[in-house]
């Protein structure tokens, strides 16, 4: 009886008793959720245009962040480093298309998936060789990202918002809006979506496979850089960041692999839910550290009842 | 340039048929040990409706795939507008103004009818990626212009009421029409139709025939079509190529072909 009360009554009583603290928890969750969503977006973009599940998305985040920090360490001004990092991401996109994807056109999806694991290992190796494996500090202030905080007093309580987090949320929102417009309202965006739907038909309307693939890998490289800067500013730049990218997997299971809306809502939902679960249930009842596994268990539950995710396309095979 | 008389002429129903626009010369296509097309030559004239007919497995679709660049023949030349065409990828052929539909409908199922038809305008896209990403300048003007053209095509094919419907939800007959709309949106010089009436009921076939004739009449589009339904072919087309086992066994006006003994044996004689 006491146990039931701890699970079903006390957490909610706590939430009502301290609404300012609840808001703080939700805010923290939203900020990580935004980053999960960004990583998931990179996955969705590549999956939509080529049906490839890009295992390398996580390492691309690390690699982009490392390149940025590394270039700046060589004495290059911060914003020039950003531009140069974008150039590097573009070169990577072209190289991946030329060397890895083009020879594998028409192969089963699993082969392409394995190839992206190969890309991951290659980028890990190259990254460690060039930049070394030790932890680095993101050049937050050099990029002009504010580092202070604001204190709000909702319900007469106390709510602390880091300037950094606010910047992250706003820039992520802008990036997502730009992507939605690009994919939904431009011919290039239509070409990307079309290619994912039907290769033959896409070719017949004059879409070049190669151009589009370079384009989507580059765009997901840009997303990787933004994610890398944001996450690097909070947790430092190291290869451990790659682990965070795996959080995108439950996000994708929740949101569906094809849906941009799904990636965003899935990311935010997982960010908020895992934080709330940790604070209100995990720490008092399970000894904490539930954030490590909560998202995966949630995704497992979703898989049981809606294998296509909440927003994915249900595939109906006609016999 | 070719053996046929190059002069244009006017048909009985008043349409002008121009010079040869595409000339297929001695095309041979092999898949491993199988020869799908054996040494076939024929030409396509500007503004005509040219049919390719033949029994199952005759190589008709292979021929269409050769024209649209999906297959590259081992032997033979393709002359387009007086120039020999180098081996090309399908998207390059599409950019030359050759649009096509597929036998087993190849649409973008997850996208709306409008978006599907808009992809037909991709060959007319000039704005840079950056200007597109920012939806600014040239890209915006182009988008508006493309949209106008697409709305005309949608009007023309009478699919206004399903503009915003995802294609995956449409019945078969309408999907075929959307595919035709996408091809038409490209303003093609040559329109390739792979069995446009396969699997349709009588009413849908009549609609489709009417649209094909209207397209040809209204825009002067050259049309190459493959069809099983003999009645349809004879009514629609100006000239017919007959194929059987990868070889050409007849070529000429519908009436000539109808009376050709080899054709009767191979195809018309067989009831179906």
Residue ranges in chain A modelled with pLDDT below 70: 312-319
Give me the number of domains chain B comprises: 1
- Cα R_g (chain A), whole angstroms: 21
Calpha distance B164→A94 (Å, rounded): 35
Q: What are phi and psi of B131, to 5 degrees?
A: -65, -30
At residue B5, the pLDDT reads 54
Give Cα A124 to chain centroid, integer Å.
18
Handedness of CA A105, A106, A110, A111 (dihedral sign): negative
Calpha distance A296→A39 (Å, rounded): 16
Q: Does B123 touch chain A (CB under 8 A)?
A: yes
At residue A314, the pLDDT reads 61
Calpha distance A168→A170 (Å, rounded): 6
At residue A317, the pLDDT reads 55
The token pair that represents A264 in the structure block: 């965003």
A-interface mutation test, from B110, B114, B128, B185, most A Cβ less than 10 A away:
B110
The token pair that represents B9 in the structure block: 């002429």
CB contact at 8 A, A51 and A258 = no
At residue B116, the pLDDT reads 93
Going residue by residue through chain B (272 aa), what tens digit of pLDDT does each one get? 444 555 777 877 778 888 899 999 999 999 988 899 999 999 999 999 999 988 888 899 999 999 999 999 999 999 999 899 999 999 999 999 999 999 888 998 888 999 999 999 988 876 666 666 666 667 778 888 889 999 999 999 999 999 999 998 898 889 999 999 999 999 999 999 999 988 888 888 889 999 999 999 988 899 999 987 777 888 899 999 999 889 999 899 988 888 888 877 776 555 44
Calpha distance A2→A5 (Å, rounded): 5
Q: Which residues pair with residue B49 across a beta bridge?
A: B223
Calpha distance A127→A132 (Å, rounded): 7
Instruction: Kindly determine whether residue B125 and residue A187, on different chains, have CB atoms separated by under 8 Å.
Output: yes
Q: Is residue B153, in this structure, part of any structural domain at all?
A: no
Architecture of the CATH domain A24-305? Orthogonal Bundle (1.10)
Q: Is residue B64, in this structure, part of any structural domain at all?
A: yes
Nearest in space to A106 (alpha carbons), one of A44, A51, A43, A48: A51
Give Cα B89 to chain centroid, integer Å.
17
CB contact at 8 A, B237 and B254 = yes
Q: Label residue A26 exposed, middle or buried (CB < 10 Å: 0-12, 13-18, 19+).
A: middle
Q: Does A207 touch chain B (CB under 8 A)?
A: yes
Cβ neighbours of A196 in B, within 8 Å = 110
Burial A272-304 (b: 16+ CB within 10 A, else e): bbbbbbbbbbbeeeeeeebbeebbbebbeebee
Calpha distance B226→B103 (Å, rounded): 9
At residue B271, the pLDDT reads 46
Calpha distance B190→B85 (Å, rounded): 15
- The nearest alpha carbon in chain B to A210 belongs to B91
The token pair that represents B98 in the structure block: 């050759």
Burial A170-201 (b: 16+ CB within 10 A, else e): ebbeebbeebeebbeebbbbbbbbbbbbbbeb
At residue B6, the pLDDT reads 59
Instruction: Kindly determine whether residue A206 and residue B89, on different chains, have CB atoms separated by under 8 Å.
Output: no
Nearest 5°: the CA angle B194, A207, B64 is 20
Label the pairing between strands B222-226 and B49-53: parallel
- Residue that has been written with the tokens 């007849």 in this structure: B250
Q: Domain range holding B240?
A: 1-97+224-272
Nearest in space to A187 (alpha carbons), one of A195, A197, A199: A195
Cβ neighbours of B132 in A, within 8 Å = 182, 186-189
Q: Report the predicted TM-score, pTM, of the whole model to 2 decimal places.
A: 0.80
Q: Is residue B160, in this structure, part of any structural domain at all?
A: no
At residue B1, the pLDDT reads 40
At residue B57, the pLDDT reads 83
Q: What is the CATH number of the domain that holds B65?
A: 3.40.50.300
Calpha distance B167→B190 (Å, rounded): 25
- The nearest alpha carbon in chain B to A190 belongs to B119
- The nearest alpha carbon in chain B to A200 belongs to B106
Q: Does B144 touch chain A (CB under 8 A)?
A: no
Cβ neighbours of A194 in B, within 8 Å = 108, 111, 116, 119
Q: Does A236 touch chain B (CB under 8 A)?
A: no
- Sorted by where each begins, the domain ranges of chain A are 24-305
At residue B228, the pLDDT reads 75
The token pair that represents A194 in the structure block: 């079309």
CB pairs under 8 A between A and B: 98
Q: Is residue B91, in this structure, part of any structural domain at all?
A: yes
Calpha distance A261→A283 (Å, rounded): 31
User: Out of A187, A207, A209, whose CB is closest to B132?
Assistant: A187
Instruction: Kindly determine whether residue A198 and residue B122, on different chains, have CB atoms separated by under 8 Å.
Output: no
Q: What are phi and psi of A140, to 5 degrees?
A: -60, -55
Residue ranges in B52-110 assigned as alpha helix (H)? 60-67, 90-95
User: Out of A200, A206, A208, whose CB is closest to B102?
Assistant: A200
Instruction: Kindly determine whether residue B119 and residue A208, on different chains, have CB atoms separated by under 8 Å.
Output: no
Cβ neighbours of B153 in A, within 8 Å = none
Handedness of CA A106, A111, A112, A115 (dihedral sign): negative
Instruction: Kindly determine whether residue A190 and residue B111, on different chains, have CB atoms separated by under 8 Å.
Output: yes
Q: Does A209 touch chain B (CB under 8 A)?
A: yes
Three-class SS of A101-113 = HHHHCCCCHHHHH
pLDDT digits (tens, 9 = 90+) for A20-59: 889 999 999 999 999 889 888 888 888 888 788 888 988 9
Distance (Å) of CA A86 to CA A40, A93, A219, A314, B173: 20, 10, 10, 36, 47
B-interface mutation test, from A47, A185, A190, A205, most B Cβ less than 10 A away:
A205
Question: For chain B, how long is the longest CA-to-CA vector?
Answer: 63
Q: What are phi and psi of A208, to 5 degrees?
A: -90, 120
Q: Is residue B163, in this structure, part of any structural domain at all?
A: no
CB contact at 8 A, A137 and A69 = yes
CB within 8 Å of chain B, chain A residues 251-290 = 258
Burial B52-81 (b: 16+ CB within 10 A, else e): bbbeeebbbbbbbbbbbbbbebeebebbbe
So what's the ipTM on this one? 0.78
Residues whose CB is less than 8 angstroms from the CB of residue B18 and which lie 6 or more positions away in sequence, other chains included: B8, B45, B46, B47
């Amino acid at each position: 009886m006491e146990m039931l009360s701890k699970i079903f009554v006390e957490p909610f009583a706590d939430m009502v008793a301290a609404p300012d603290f609840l808001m703080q928890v939700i805010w923290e969750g939203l900020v990580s959720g935004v980053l999960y969503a960004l990583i998931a977006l990179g996955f969705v973009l590549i999956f939509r245009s080529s049906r490839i599940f890009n295992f390398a998305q996580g390492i691309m985040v690390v690699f982009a962040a490392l390149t940025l920090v590394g270039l700046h360490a060589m004495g290059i001004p911060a914003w020039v480093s950003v531009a140069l990092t974008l150039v590097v991401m573009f070169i990577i996109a072209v190289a991946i298309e030329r060397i890895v994807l083009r020879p594998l056109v028409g192969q089963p999806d699993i082969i392409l998936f394995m190839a992206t694991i190969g890309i991951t290992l290659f980028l890990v190796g190259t990254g460690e060789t060039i930049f070394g494996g030790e932890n680095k500090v993101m050049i937050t202030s050099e990029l002009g990202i504010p580092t202070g905080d604001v204190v709000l007093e909702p319900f007469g309580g106390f709510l602390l918002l880091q300037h950094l987090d606010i910047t992250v949320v706003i820039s992520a929102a802008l990036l997502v809006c730009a992507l939605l417009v690009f994919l939904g309202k431009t011919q290039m965006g239509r070409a990307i979506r079309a290619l994912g739907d039907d290769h033959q038909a896409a070719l017949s309307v004059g879409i070049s496979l190669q151009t589009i693939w370079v384009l989507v890998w580059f765009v997901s490289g840009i997303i990787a850089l933004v994610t890398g800067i944001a996450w690097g500013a909070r947790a430092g730049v190291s290869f451990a960041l790659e682990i965070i990218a795996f959080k995108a997997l439950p996000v994708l299971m929740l949101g569906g692999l094809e849906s941009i809306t799904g990636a965003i809502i899935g990311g935010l939902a997982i960010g908020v839910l895992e934080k709330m679960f940790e604070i209100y249930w995990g720490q008092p009842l399970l000894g904490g550290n539930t954030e490590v596994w909560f998202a995966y268990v949630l995704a497992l539950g979703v898989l049981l009842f809606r294998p296509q995710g909440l927003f994915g396309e249900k595939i109906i095979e006609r016999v | 340039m070719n053996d046929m008389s190059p002069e244009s002429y006017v048909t009985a129903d008043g349409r002008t048929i121009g010079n040869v626009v595409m000339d297929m010369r001695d095309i041979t296509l092999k898949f491993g040990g199988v020869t799908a097309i054996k040494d076939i030559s024929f030409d396509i004239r500007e503004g005509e409706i040219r049919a390719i007919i033949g029994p199952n497995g005759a190589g008709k679709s292979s021929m269409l795939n050769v024209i649209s660049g999906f297959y590259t023949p081992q032997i033979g030349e393709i002359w387009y507008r007086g120039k020999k065409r180098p081996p090309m990828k399908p998207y390059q052929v599409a950019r030359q103004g050759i649009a096509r539909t597929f036998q087993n409908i190849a649409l973008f199922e997850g996208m709306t009818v409008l978006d599907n038809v808009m992809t037909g305008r991709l060959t007319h896209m000039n704005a840079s990626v950056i200007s597109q990403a920012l939806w600014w300048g040239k890209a915006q003007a182009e988008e508006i212009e493309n949209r106008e053209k697409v709305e005309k095509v949608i009007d023309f094919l009478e699919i206004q009421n399903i503009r915003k419907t995802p294609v995956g939800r449409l019945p078969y007959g309408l999907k075929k029409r959307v595919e035709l709309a996408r091809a038409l949106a490209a303003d093609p010089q040559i329109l390739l139709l792979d069995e446009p009436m396969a699997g349709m009921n009588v009413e849908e076939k009549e609609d489709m025939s009417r649209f094909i004739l209207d397209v040809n009449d209204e825009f002067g589009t050259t049309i190459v079509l493959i069809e099983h339904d003999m009645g349809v072919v004879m009514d629609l087309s100006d000239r017919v190529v007959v194929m059987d086992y990868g070889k050409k066994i007849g070529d000429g006006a519908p009436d000539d072909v109808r009376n050709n003994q080899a054709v009767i044996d191979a195809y018309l004689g067989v009831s179906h």
